[in-house]
Amino acid sequence: MDSLPLDVSHPAVRDYLSLVRLQVLTPLSLLINIATLLVCSVIISPSAGSIIKSHPTSISPSPSLIAAYIAAIFLGQIGYCVLLVVARKSETKTTLVKGVGLSLVFANWLMALWAVSWVLEFFLLSTILLGLLVLCLLYSNIALLIYHPPTSSRPLDTALIHAPLRFFLVLPLSLLFSYSLFITLGLYYSPGHPEHYDRFAWPGFGATFGANLIGLVVILMRCDIVWAVAATWICASIWSARPKPAPVYITVIFFTVLHPLALLGTLLYRRLTKREGRIALPPDEEHDVAAPRGPREVDAEALWGPA
C-alpha cells in the first residue's frame, strides 16, 4: 500500500475504487442474468413458461406478461449501468456506491440461480432463493429511501436508480415468492383437470390481497408511481391467465383499478395541499484557500466529482 501514489485510506479513494468495482460487476451480473433467463426460457425444455402452465395455481400469472415485465427490469438496469459510467455528481456516485452497492449484483445472481432451479423443478430451492432476493432488494430500497431519497434536483437518479430497484422488488415480493411457495406446498392442480381451478382459492386470495394491500399503503404514503405501475402490471398478469377462482379474480381486478386511482388521488391531494417551502439562503461566496497537498494526498473533488 505504501508504494501506491494515492492514499488508499482516504474516503474519496475508497469510494472511487468501490465505484470502479461496481462498474465491472454490475454489468457482468446483468449479462449473466439475461443470458440465464434466455436459456431457461427459450432453449431448455421444459422452459420457465411451460412450468408455469404445467403447475397452475389460484395465482398463476400470464407467462407473456411476466416476460414483458422482466424485460422492463432489464431495460431499467441497462440505464442504471450507463449511469454508473457517466455519473459526475458526487451525490449520484454516493447513491450508487453506498445506497445500492453490491446488492443489485447479488440480486442478479440470485435471479439467475432461481431461473436454473426453476427449470430443474427444485421448487423448495426456488422459494428460498426468491426469499433471499426479496430481502436483498428490500434492503437496498430501504437504504435508498432513508439515506438517499429521490429528489427533483437529480431526476436521472430517480429514473435510473430508484425506479429500476423498486420495479425489480415488486415482482418477487408481490408474485414470484408466493407462487413458488404455493407449488412447494402442493397448492396447485393438474392442468388436465381445469375444473379444479377453484381449489385453494382462499390461500390465493390471502396472498394477492396481502401483497396488494402493502402496495396500496406504499402508493398512498409515498405517491409511488413506479410501485403503482408495477403492482397494476402484476394484477393484470394474474387475472389475464384464466380460469381463476372468484375470490382471486375479483381481488386482482379490484386492485387493478384501485392502484391507479390511489395514485391519482394522492397526486391531486398533494397538489392541492402543497405549500411553499422555505427560501434557501445563498451560499457564502468566501472559500478557504486550500493548503498545498503532499505527494500522497488526494484532491477529493477532482477524483470523486463536484457536489
Contact between residue 22 and residue 101 where contact means Cβ atoms under 8 Å apart = yes
pLDDT at residue 228 tops 60 = yes
pLDDT of residue 33: 97
Rounded Cα gap, residues 167 and 230, in angstroms: 6
The helix (H) or strand (E) run that includes residue 146 is: helix 123-147
Report the share of the chain in percent with pLDDT over 90: 71
Give the residue-averaged pLDDT of 156-185.
95
**Segment among 181-185, 216-220, 242-246, 293-297 with least mean pLDDT:** 293-297
pLDDT of residue 284: 58
pLDDT of residue 197: 78
Give the residue-averaged pLDDT of 235-258.
95
pLDDT at residue 214 tops 70 = yes
pLDDT at residue 18 tops 70 = yes
Q: Which amino acid would we find at residue 89?
A: K
pLDDT of residue 298: 60
The pTM assigned to this predicted structure is 0.86
Domain ranges of the chain: 11-272
At 22, is the pLDDT very low, low, confident or very high (cuts 50, 70, 90)? Answer: very high
Give the residue-averaged pLDDT of 123-143.
96
pLDDT at residue 37 tops 80 = yes
pLDDT of residue 296: 57
pLDDT at residue 285 tops 70 = no
Please write the tens of the pLDDT for every residue from 67-90.
Answer: 999 999 999 999 999 999 998 899
pLDDT of residue 127: 97
Rounded Cα gap, residues 35 and 38, in angstroms: 5
Q: Which grid cell is 242? A: 384464466
Say how many Å lie between the first and final Cα of the chain, rounded: 28
pLDDT of residue 307: 61
**SS3 label, residue 152:** coil
Secondary structure of 44-113 in HEC code, one letter for each residue: CCCCHHHHHHHCCCCCCCCHHHHHHHHHHHHHHHHHHHHHHHHCCCHHHHHHHHHHHCCHHHHHHHHHHH
Residue 274 backbone dihedrals phi, psi, to 5 degrees:
-70, 135
Mean of the per-residue pLDDT values for the chain? 88
pLDDT of residue 1: 47
Please enumerate in sequence order all residues whose Cβ is within 8 A of that of 96, keeping only pairs 6 or more positions apart, or say none.
Answer: 19, 22, 83, 84, 87, 161
